[in-house]
């Protein structure tokens, strides 16, 4: 699990929200979570974001057309799977009760 912090930045751009977004995320359990391109275009990274972190992560939608400065650091807690399992269990329980 890692902390992902994103700050939008563009010279002369209208400020939608300049407060950084900071949320927990993890690499999905798929082989293509990190792709490195051989034609010098860089890399693409995918993250899984639990529902409990979506409030912060949704800020990224406002910055879709902007360049972002990302800071990623490992989280000391290692309960990603536990947290994800609880979220999935709650979601399934809600569907059964509906």
pLDDT in tens, the chain (98 residues): 555 666 665 544 445 567 899 999 999 999 999 999 988 889 999 999 999 999 999 999 999 999 999 998 988 876 656 555 555 555 555 556 65
Helix count (H) and strand count (E) of the chain? 3, 5
Tokens of 75: 């989280």
For residue 45, the model assigns a pLDDT of 93
Tokens of 23: 């949320």
**pTM as predicted:** 0.61
For residue 61, the model assigns a pLDDT of 92
For residue 14, the model assigns a pLDDT of 46
In what helix (H) or strand (E) does residue 73 lie, and over which residues does it extend?
strand 67-74
Yes or no: say if 75 and 5 are a contact pair by the CB < 8 Å rule: no
Q: Which residues are bridge partners to 68 per DSSP?
A: 8
């Amino acid at each position: 699990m890692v902390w992902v912090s994103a700050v939008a930045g563009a010279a002369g751009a209208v400020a939608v929200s300049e407060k950084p977004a900071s949320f927990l995320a993890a690499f999905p359990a798929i082989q293509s979570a990190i792709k490195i391109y051989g034609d010098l275009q860089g890399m693409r990274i995918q993250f899984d974001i639990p529902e409990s972190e979506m409030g912060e992560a949704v800020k990224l939608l406002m910055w879709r057309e902007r360049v972002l400065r990302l800071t990623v650091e490992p989280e000391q807690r290692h309960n990603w799977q536990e947290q994800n399992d609880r979220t999935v269990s709650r979601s399934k329980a809600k569907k059964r009760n509906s």
